[in-house]
Structure 1
Amino acid sequence: MADETTPNGAAQAQPQLRMQILAQYIRDLSFENAVATKGAPSGDVQPEITVQVSLDARKRGTENQYEVISKYRVTSTNKGDGQTMFLAELDYGGVFHIEGVPEDQMHPFLMIECPRMLFPFVRRIISDLTRDGGFPAFNMDPVDFVALYRQELARRAQTQTEAAAEKPLS
């Protein structure tokens, strides 16, 4: 990063961003092969896959350490009859050491950059899980964490607006 100059002409160094992934882990994992329990769907099979993503982050007890959990729910249904073919759920966590991020930018950093760093590992786990579950490997498209963050901010703002509108005036 470039140094900034103060009004008196002296150079002032900006804090250096430092991020390190200290740990990655599967917190929860499940796979349900509905085809195996119900039998193969009759007729033409046209799988339709939906992916739901949610994120959570929290500060840990150690200075500059944060835990980020990405939750993925992948559902495959048959377009023809609406029957579920499989359901995969993965909660994947990472512990990060982060320095040099201003406090007002920490929340978006945790909810965008950290899950982005974990995503390739999540994608591989989901792919292996679906393949090992008896289906073709599902290679999840990249997730736009910026759009997901903006949607969550809009949802929270809407909820606050509705809550304020429902308050009785006294």
Structure 2
Amino acid sequence: MTDTNGATPPEQPTQAAAPKMQALAQYVRDMSFENMVAQKGLGGADVQPDIQVQVSLDARKRGQAGQFEVICKYKVTSKNRNGGDTLFLLELDYGGLFQVEGVSEEQLHPFLLIECPRLLFPFVRRIISDVTRDGGFPPLNIDNIDFVKLYRAELQRRAQAQAAAPETPTTVS
């Protein structure tokens, strides 16, 4: 192809395929809500809740090419600051099935454990809010989660655990 001057334009650089992700399904894998206030008759004017949220993530390849399952596990514990009694305990395993394309093998692990949970999070937040409200508490709207920071912290934890683990001697019989 030539321009009006008869010169050939420079070659356009080819770009790698942009990453594509499609959520194929989302589901509650497991959920438990325990209302200790109702069970034990706790409560009163001196209740000052202290909420702790723990998150763990898991991803695994599915049978079909480019399909992955990502499971986000949330454990939400509310304790009374006065006395430490547990007010409620909510455990939620929320999963998603994803079709992922255009992501290099080196970037696949962080992509699955950062981008996929980020997409699922608004749905998890809504479930937690609804369950706490339906359980007799004010709706709990958990704060946004920095999945990049969570991913990096897990990598650091694994590296420290690996460094702290004593090497097991190899025995030859």
Offset of residue 15 of structure 1:
1.2
Instruction: Letter of the 1:101 partner, please give it.
Output: V
What is the aligned counterpart of 1:128 among 130, 134, 142?
A: 130
Q: Secondary structure at the match of 2:144?
A: coil
The Cα RMSD (Å) is: 1.7
Moved over 6 A (4+): none
In structure 2, what is the equivalent of residue 142 of structure 1?
144
In structure 2, what is the equivalent of residue 107 of structure 1?
109
| Separation in 1, partners of 2:151, 2:137 | 31
Identify unmatched segments of 5+ residues in structure 2. Answer: 1-9
Instruction: Letter of the 1:104 partner, please give it.
Output: E
Offset of residue 118 of structure 1:
0.2
| Separation in 2, partners of 1:20, 1:166 | 42
Instruction: Letter of the 1:131 partner, please give it.
Output: R
| Separation in 1, partners of 2:49, 2:84 | 9
With the length of structure 2 as denominator, give the TM-score of the two structures.
0.89
Q: How many residues align?
A: 162
In structure 1, what is the equivalent of residue 71 of structure 2?
69
Report whether the alignment pairs 1:159 with 2:161. Answer: yes
What is the aligned counterpart of 1:60 among 52, 59, 62?
A: 62
| Separation in 2, partners of 1:65, 1:95 | 7
Identify unmatched segments of 5+ residues in structure 1. Answer: 1-7
Offset of residue 159 of structure 1:
1.1
In structure 2, what is the equivalent of residue 17 of structure 1?
19
| Separation in 1, partners of 2:44, 2:119 | 41
With the length of structure 1 as denominator, give the TM-score of the two structures.
0.90
Offset of residue 24 of structure 1:
0.2
Instruction: Kindly provide the CA deviation profile for residues 130-159 of structure 1, in whole angstroms up to 9, marking residues without a partner as x.
Output: 000000000000011011000100011011
| Separation in 2, partners of 1:153, 1:126 | 27
